[in-house]
Structure 1
Amino acid sequence: MRTRELDSLRGLAAVSVLFYHVVALNSPALQDGVYLKEAANPIANLLIFSPLHIAWLGLEAVWLFFVLSAFVLTKAATRPDFSWGAYYPSRLVRLYGPVLVAIAFAALTYLVIPHVVEPGDSPVLATLPTSYAINDILRDATLFGGTSTAVGVLWSLQWEVIFSLTLPVYVLMVRRFPRSATVIAVAGCLIGWIFTDPVLSFMPLFFFGALLAQYWNQVCEAFGFLATRRWTAHVAGSALLVLTVLGLTSYFTVGPWLQQLDLSARVMTLPLVVAAIVLLIIIGVNWPPLSRFLTLRPMLFLGTISFSLYLVHRPIMIALAFVFGVGAVPAVIEIAVSIAVAVGFAFAVERPLHRLSQRVARAMRTLDRENFVTAA
């Protein structure tokens, strides 16, 4: 299943992660807000503790990546012509190909640009990685057993790889045990965040995308009223979009209040965020005004470069911070350079590797058919 709206949602999520990292690097006050610390500046507090935070979500945007990946791959796995023999090598090429080139690109930035903290530099620079050792490069290249901070975003790709390898388990769960598996996924995710267990924190998130894919036709029927031309459809769609934004930013809007009650803001708002992500996918495809927005050329372009932007922006920002320092002007430079490099990476690296993964899939499907004919 290839839906243009979903590609655009990936693009918006990648931009949100980009802005999050830019903010974290260049505005200590806003970065403290990520940990629900109040800033002295009222404008900063407005950007932190209101739905405006939607523009620079970090973790929630990555969760959206997870749910979208599970949704798309599960939909693909239910097609009659789907081949597991073709899926695995193709998927590994699709993921590891761009990652390995991104690692090489990151290593180059550490070699070419001195990552040295000089006297008088911002204290923020002292928190950044200053080298990319060969053992870290090799560890990052596997995407297993943890990743370094030199590239900065590969931690999420290790969960993408694990999910991709265990896709048959997720497909089985949503087909055979949807109710019990949903309860287990919710409980597991909450337990993971309570006890800071990364496996339980992240792997159940993919389940919700797989579950949505399994019941997608029924969901579209239930939300079919959004496609009518009645004014009530636009009111409902607008209301659902507002609920989506409120859910996605709930950690920041109600988190401080929850902390005052000695409750974990992340654990308490996690169901709201996940529900908002699922709702965003539903209305993004089924509500015409949002669908039209997501299929505008700029949105589709962001979708085209989303994976590349996600992979290359962090080492670029780190390198430029050592060149220009931190602040508003370096932030603008970092955004512009990251997008420019991502465009080149998408067309020079990611697109050819995507085509290679498709050729691998076709070759494996052909081999499967030949083996079937021979066996028959």
Structure 2
Amino acid sequence: MGSRYHQLDSIRGIAALTVLLGHFASSILIFCTCTNTTGNEDHVILNLFKYTPLSFFGAGHEAVILFFLLSGFVLSLPFFKQTNTGYGQYLIRRICRIYIPFAIALLFAVVMYFISSPSVITHMSSWFNGQWDMPIDVKDVLAALGFIGVFDTDKINPPIWSLVHEMRISIIFPFLMFVLVRWRTLFSVALACALSVLGIAATSVLNPSSLVNMYITIHYAAIFMVGALLAKHMSEISRFIRGKSRIVKVIMLLIGFLLYNFKTVLPNWSLIHNYLFNEWAITIGGSIYISIAFGSITLERVLLLSPIQFLGKISYSLYLYHMVVLLSLTHLLHGWMNIEIILVISFVVSLIVSTVMYYLVEKPSMNFGKYLTGKERSTKNQRTTAA
């Protein structure tokens, strides 16, 4: 396999789009999952997207689990190839890749909050009105920027909760890789399961109120580990899948789809729909998605289509800015036009803003990280020498 896995970029882009669609849908009163429309004959089509596997198109939390799998996969590659640099260089590049765009998006959200002067909009969902529903002060901003203590991400930019976990796990990830590189896969899986159970149990017992609590970070670290193990064995996995017939690949993809949508597909029985089962079903389903992306030539071709590749390129910015765009435009334009039109405008503006911020913030941040760690300079030196 090559050094760049463009299929993974595309998967990340599709996942970011499902987060956007889920948040947009949850903002409308009738679409919001907290509004029960089951059995209502007036909402047959709506219920298909709320209570069937079609809910994939708005599966926000599932997409976050997929993000964590992809991060674990990509971050592990230099360790398995033994091309990783020192911890300091790794951390600098990670901060430039994740934290700098995160911090700028956070400050952008604060500015838009004060510009849009948010208030309750009666025909929007309670979930939507629960965002930006309290004043933002300097302490909130500093807490979010410094990942200090327990803070409410909904006060500034709702999706950033996952990035707090992403940065925490990134800091300790090389130490996890020290184990994964040396241990047998079975022992590594056992460790991941143990960390997951520990994190979920601690969260359940201590019942912290914040999405950014430290206990659930332990569980998410286990998902990073699963992504890393996928990378470790992807050559064997892809060879195995490529040797199967098309019908077998379709069945595998269907199984992945059903597991990824575990909460929707199976009956709402508390025995099988506890948090641990749901999380691991999503994790296994997401792992199957990633595996088939390498094992199916047809799916690989689809994922390498230019529009999907572009979506993957701007996926991080799309994740960072879509809720800020939706919240600010809805509050600014409410009363001037219908909510349906506002949603369409918000969707288009989200793509535009994400594209601009990718080139204005993300790409320069990545290049800055390479420059600080000498990677960019060594490349230039090699080119000069070759010339």
TM-score range, shorter chain: 0.7 to 0.9
Secondary structure of the equivalent of 1:52?
A: helix
Partner of 1:292: 301
Give 1:329 shift: 2.8
Which stretch of structure 1 is more off in the superposition, 280-289 or 328-337? Answer: 328-337
Whether contact under 8 Å (1:2, 1:72) holds in the other structure is no
1:23: how far off?
Answer: 1.0
Deviations 1:192-235 (A, max 9, x none): 44526423432211110111122222223322315xxxxxx222
Kept in 2: contact 1:146–1:155 (CA 8 A): no
Match of 1:174 in 2: 180
Distance 1:92-1:255 versus aligned 2 partners, 3 A rule: farther
- CA offsets, 1:315-341, max 9 Å, x none? 111112212348433322221221111
Q: What is the 5 A alignment of 1:71-150? A: 71-84=73-86, 85-117=88-120, 122=124, 124=126, 126-130=129-133, 131-147=135-151, 148-149=153-154, 150=156
* Contact 1:255/1:265 (<8 A) preserved: no
Letter matched to residue 19 of structure 1: L
Q: Equivalents in 2 of 1:305, 1:276: separation in Å?
A: 24
CA-CA distance at 1:22 after TM superposition: 0.5
Quote the Cα distance in structure 2 between the aligned partners of 1:188 and 1:77: 21
Structure 2 counterpart of 1:5: 7
User: Aligned match of 1:361 in 339, 349, 373?
Assistant: 373
Q: Is the 8 A contact 2:240 2:295 kept in 1?
A: no
Deviations 1:110-139 (A, max 9, x none): 122211337x66463642214432111111
Contact 1:30 1:44 survives alignment (8 Å): no
CA distance in 1, matches of 2:32, 2:267: 15
State how far apart, in whole Å, the 2-side matches of 1:27 and 1:358 are.
45
Which residue of structure 2 aligns with residue 374 of structure 1? none
> 2:231 aligns to what?
213
In 2, distance between residues paired with 1:39 and 1:111? 41
SS at match of 2:158: coil
- Sort the Cα spacing of 1:165 and 1:23 in 2 relative to 1 into closer, same or farther, 3 A: same
1:161 aligns with 2:167: yes
* Residue 285 of structure 1, CA deviation: 1.7
2:330 equivalent to 1:321: yes
Count of matched residue positions in the alignment of Structure 1 and Structure 2: 354
1:363 Cα deviation from its structure 2 partner: 5.6
Q: 1:248: Cα distance to partner? A: 0.9
Q: For residues 121 and 218 of structure 1, what CA distance do their matches in structure 2 show?
A: 52
Does the alignment pair 1:311 with 2:329?
Answer: no
Greater RCO, CA 8 A, separation 6+:
1
Mapped contact 1:38–1:45 kept (Cα < 8 A): yes
Normalising by structure 1, we get a TM-score of 0.86
What CA distance in whole angstroms lies between the structure 2 residues aligned with 1:182 and 1:51?
28
Does the aligned pair in 1 maintain the 2:227–2:287 contact within 8 Å?
A: yes
- The list of structure 1 runs, each at least 4 consecutive aligned residues, that deviate by more than 4 angstroms after superposition, is 120-123, 363-366
Q: Does the 8 A contact of 1:251 with 1:266 survive in 2?
A: no
Match of 1:254 among 266, 269, 280: 266
Equivalent in the alignment of 2:385: none
CA RMSD of aligned residues (A): 2.4
**Identity of matched residues, %:** 25
Secondary structure of 1:81's match?
coil
Displacement of 1:145 = 3.1
Change in Cα spacing, 1:266 to 1:4, as seen in structure 2 (3 Å) is same
Q: How does 1:179-190 map to 2 (within 5 A)?
A: 179-190=186-197
Unmatched segments (≥5 aa) in structure 1: 227-232, 367-376
SS in structure 2 opposite 1:223? helix
Query: Would the aligned equivalents of 1:241 and 1:280 in 2 still touch at CA under 8 Å?
Result: yes
The letter of the residue matching 1:319 is S
Q: CA 1:42–1:303 in 2, change beyond 3 Å: closer, same or farther?
A: same
What amino acid is aligned across from residue 257 of structure 2 in structure 1?
Answer: V
Select the residue among 336, 339, 347 that pairs with 2:348. Answer: 336
Q: Report the residue type matching 2:299 in the other structure.
A: L
Report the 3-state secondary structure (helix = DSSP H, G, I; strand = E; otherwise coil) of the residue aligned with 1:32.
coil
Instruction: Give the aligned residue type for 1:174.
Output: L
What one-letter code is carried by the residue in structure 1 that aligns with 2:179?
M
CA displacement 1:6-40 (0-9 Å, x = unmatched) = 0000100100100111111114443227xx88473
- Secondary structure in 2 matching 1:344: helix
- CA spacing shift, 1:102–1:185, aligned 2, 3 Å: same
Which residue type is aligned with residue 340 of structure 2? A
